[in-house]
Amino acid sequence: MSEVLRLLVIDDDAELCELLSQYLEPHGFRVVGVHDGETGLRAVAEDTFDLVVLDVMLPGLDGLEVLRRLRALSPIPVVMLTARGDDVDRIVGLELGADDYLPKPFNPRELLARLRAVLRRARQTESAPPPLDAGSASPEGIRVGDVELHTGTRTATCGGRELRLTTVEFNLLEAMMRAAGRVLSREELSLLVLGRKLQPYDRSLDVHVSNLRKKLGDGPRGAERIKTVRGVGYLYCLPEGGRPEDLPGGEGIGES
């Protein structure tokens, strides 16, 4: 990695911050460590970082409250550090918009792999062209029923209502819509959307699916949009008699 990436670590363990700095800097990261949430929020507001590593257990403002305020401040990618076995913190963190999590204690090599995967996903969004003016040709996309997704502008609508999706949720919706009517295994989705192999007891994908379901809501006449296929994965349901449709370049969000 030739470029230097700025990483903010918010953790009250000064020794851990120093160890992460020593490990990650040879891999292209410049690490800035702060030890409480208030200082971390100020750092994000006043400086520029490529991503944040945030511990749940912090003095004063806890990590989940810091994440909530951070999401109101910036779309910067966030990897949460949680206590091993604490499912509640992990699930709440993902629901608040964390991009990934890692339980303590962890291997620095795994953190590096997750940071790189999160950055790859974030850059898919950054490299997308800006939305086009009304009446201009729009990038290609896909429609299933009343849901439209445009990959160029990274925008999606449901029944004409704009969906506010995280990077992971957008990638998840795209993967499912392109395979609508076919079951995708959790293993497939983990590789496609999270950029990593599915690990035993890893429920982060399921939380992202749950969040996406809430944002989509029910289909027409209460139809289920995303069906769980127990023991296998998920199925994006086709409307009766419907099929996925590619959107031509001349069609914009909400146009017919």
Among 247, 21, 1, smallest CA distance to 139 is for: 247
Structure token pair of residue 95? 């629901």
Q: Which domains does the chain have, with CATH numbers?
A: 5-126 (3.40.50.2300), 141-247 (1.10.10.10)
Per-residue pLDDT tens over the stretch 41-65:
999 988 899 999 999 999 999 999 9
Q: Which has the minimum average pLDDT: 101-105, 132-136, 153-157, 224-228?
A: 132-136
Confidence (pLDDT) at 191: 85
DSSP character at residue 199: P
Strand arrangement, sheet containing 233-236? 183-185, 233-236, 226-229
Question: Residues near 239 by Cβ (< 8 Å), separated by ≥ 6?
Answer: 144, 145, 219, 220, 223
Per-residue pLDDT tens over the stretch 111-148:
999 999 888 877 765 554 443 333 333 347 889 889 99
Higher per-residue confidence, 68 vs 195:
68
User: Letter for the amino acid at 176?
Assistant: M
For the chain, the average pLDDT equals 83
Confidence (pLDDT) at 109: 94
Q: Which has the minimum average pLDDT: 19-28, 38-47, 89-98?
A: 89-98
Percent above pLDDT 90 for the chain: 42
Q: Taking 80 as the threshold, does the pLDDT of residue 72 lie above it?
A: no
Distance from C-alpha of 101 to C-alpha of 90, rounded to nearest angstrom: 7
Confidence (pLDDT) at 251: 38
Distance from C-alpha of 203 to C-alpha of 152, rounded to nearest angstrom: 29
Is 0.85 topped by the overall pTM? no
Question: Does a cis peptide bond (omega within 30 degrees of 0) precede residue 105?
Answer: yes
